[in-house]
A and B are shown apart, each in its own frame.
Chain A
């Protein structure tokens, strides 16, 4: 019998090589899995509109599917990469079917400073009803009424860590246009905003480089922040007659303060904004929150929120919050399923209308959460902007799978 040692050797080598590759790959995969931390959800949403709309979108129900994830991993000893994709597929509104990277941010951390670059998401502010100081990110307004839906903002950020707090410096190369409900989307106002034909004050349009700086810290029960921003306003003026967004240039300075005094939280946010094409003006949100803990010897906590919103342009303001009051009640059952509810009403003190909202959520099993939300617009005859939503009341149910 002739042996083929070379051939056998060759097979053996190949087998060993394959085995080595397989082992390396599987360990690399296992390592990759452990290196990336992740969190997120896939959610199914149903909306019911209780009135017939006064505009072209006539559906009374709508369904959509969305996904949110955040992947995070260390790179070397001091680096970190965060990738947060988002998508929604909507039954009716082609504008609401969209994808975004909320984050694609690399961060390098040194002892007393940090530098980040990429797409990021930043929150500034302390208030509950509206955060007038929160200027870095554009709103993903097609997502819903909640201003907490934000588009990823291109940024280079330098953070200086001090004994008393921090200084954060931003260069924002590239502007994100606000998203709006499309022709077939609800809830929306009477007019479809022509988001494709945005106009800019700056000749650099969406390539204008914005800059911002913020200092913040905490002194005992006081948390404070001071900021300055120069660049393109995040909320557009809507030009007649085609309702194309117009993004103006402006400079704003602002302050946010919270005092935490046992069961009382006192909160204030204030900005002063000026620009060539706008009337210089101030905006304010100020208020308080009081919490009753373990009500009547139960596990239930109840919080009461009252906030006042003001814009010194009053009726000329392009926001709906020019002289308004929010009253809110927050319930936390502190049960196994973390059942919570937030009931709120915003009332225009000049008789422009009321907006009622309820949001409640409860965990189901270990990985699911059910959220119910409703918004009702009432007595809106006195306000041009709000009255457009008179027939847009809705109830929304969302079931999310979390991972």
Chain B
């Protein structure tokens, strides 16, 4: 009995697909999960939120910064985002605008309210501390799949949550890290813990993300992020509130003119 061409094709494809699945390398599996995590986040259109950042030094002394942020989802490229500072009072009204890109360098502007000046700034500064905190700029910038290469390391448990353990190596040559280890909640497909390794491949920082809430029945967002620096003993807690999605923000709300008008 002769098989028809379509039958042959179908069988070949089926066989091929199962072979692929069986032979999926650690790299492919890592990338696959990273893409699922990213897809889980897709389709939010835009979002706004408030943030409180608490810096805690070695002796336990705290200082607080408050800011508000808005993000516009850009399909096929990095997102656009704006942050305005409310505290401390001497930087109140200072605002930043970032166009992040997967492949190219990000574009970034800063608004200085006392001078009414919008300044284009270098976005190469990925490793610098954000507002004197334990978060580097690259930790809080738009997370795109293409910014890393991945490797699946196995399954584990973090605080009773079953997780995928995935190593991510930054593609960006000026990154401050040799690698990150992401612990991804298997059910929700969100990161619950990230370990950062410095240029000497020593563990530098650990980020724990908790108090996840499901917004609009679609998007998981952490209510709390805590970054602990193992080398300095300092830590920073980021708490998020007032999340809103699909608020109708447009491209023009992310221009240098909009940056001047942000209050």
Contact = CB atoms under 8 A, between A and B. Distances in A.
B124 A293 contact: yes
B122 A336 contact: no
Contacts of B127: 293-294
Interface string B62-95: 0110000000000000000000000111111100
Contact of A402 (B63, B89, B128, B263): B89
Interface residues of B, number: 38
Given A39-B113, A263-B124, A366 B176 contact: no
A39 B87 CA distance: 10
A223 B261 contact: no
A184 interface: no
Contacts of B107: 218, 220-221, 260
Interface residues of A, number: 47
Nearest to B117: A123
Interface in A102-149: 107, 109, 111, 114, 121-123, 126, 148
A166 B257 contact: yes
A126 B113 CA distance: 16
A260 B125 contact: no
A68 B93 CA distance: 14
A263 B122 contact: yes
B22 interface: no
A80 B55 contact: no
A122 to B, nearest CB: 7
Contacts of A37: 263
B82 to A, nearest CB: 15
B115 interface: yes
B170 to A, nearest CB: 15
A122 B122 contact: no
Interface in B101-140: 105, 107, 113-118, 120-125, 127-129, 131-132
Nearest to B125: A293
Given A166-B257, A223-B120, A400-B90, A72 B263 contact: yes
Interface of A: 37, 39, 41, 68, 70, 72, 80, 107, 109, 111, 114, 121-123, 126, 148, 159, 161, 166, 218, 220-221, 223, 258, 260, 262-265, 291, 293-294, 297, 299, 301, 334-338, 363, 366-367, 369, 400, 402-403
Given A293-B125, A294-B176, 16 more contacts: A39-B89, A41-B90, A114-B257, A148-B114, A159-B257, A161-B252, A262-B124, A291-B125, A294-B127, A335-B132, A336-B57, A336-B63, A338-B90, A363-B90, A367-B88, A400-B90
